Amino acid sequence: MPARKKKSVVSTSPEHVAEVEKLVGAGHYRSVSEFVREAMAEKLERLAAARVAEQVSRYCAMEQDDDLIAGQAFDPDEPGSR
């Protein structure tokens, strides 16, 4: 069963609404709601990826023993792992 949807009110500029309505009119999206759902999903994915990248960056910035990091990141039996 598909997930239930929740209605929300979104305030934005008339210019943004007009641009989205043009895309809907041109057949790129079935509705303004579909556009907003897709835009929200893409933004949430980018934020999640940015959080992971930040965590990796902080981990890599910590002064770790290189052998420890290599041991965690690579399978020594896999070709090209080192």
pLDDT greater than 80 at residue 30: yes
pLDDT tens readout for residues 38-64 = 999 999 999 999 999 888 888 888 766
* Per-residue tokens: 39: 């835009």
Terminal-to-terminal C-alpha distance of the chain: 46
| Residue 58 within any structural domain of the chain | yes
Distance of CA 43 to the CA centre of its chain: 5
Mean per-residue pLDDT, 15-32: 98
- The predicted structure's pLDDT at residue 82: 47
Across the chain, mean pLDDT equals 84
| Residue 2 within any structural domain of the chain | no
| % the chain with pLDDT above 90 | 57
Q: Is there a contact between 74 and 82 (Cβ–Cβ < 8 Å)?
A: yes
At residue 79 the predicted structure's pLDDT band, cuts being 50, 70 and 90, is: low
| Residue 47 within any structural domain of the chain | yes
| Residue 41 within any structural domain of the chain | yes
| Residue 56 within any structural domain of the chain | yes
- Alpha carbons 37 and 20: distance in angstroms, whole number: 12
Q: State the residue range of the domain holding 52.
A: 37-62
| Residue 21 within any structural domain of the chain | no
Task: Tally the domains of the chain.
Answer: 1
pTM, full prediction: 0.65
| Residue 53 within any structural domain of the chain | yes
Q: Is there a contact between 31 and 24 (Cβ–Cβ < 8 Å)?
A: yes
| Residue 49 within any structural domain of the chain | yes
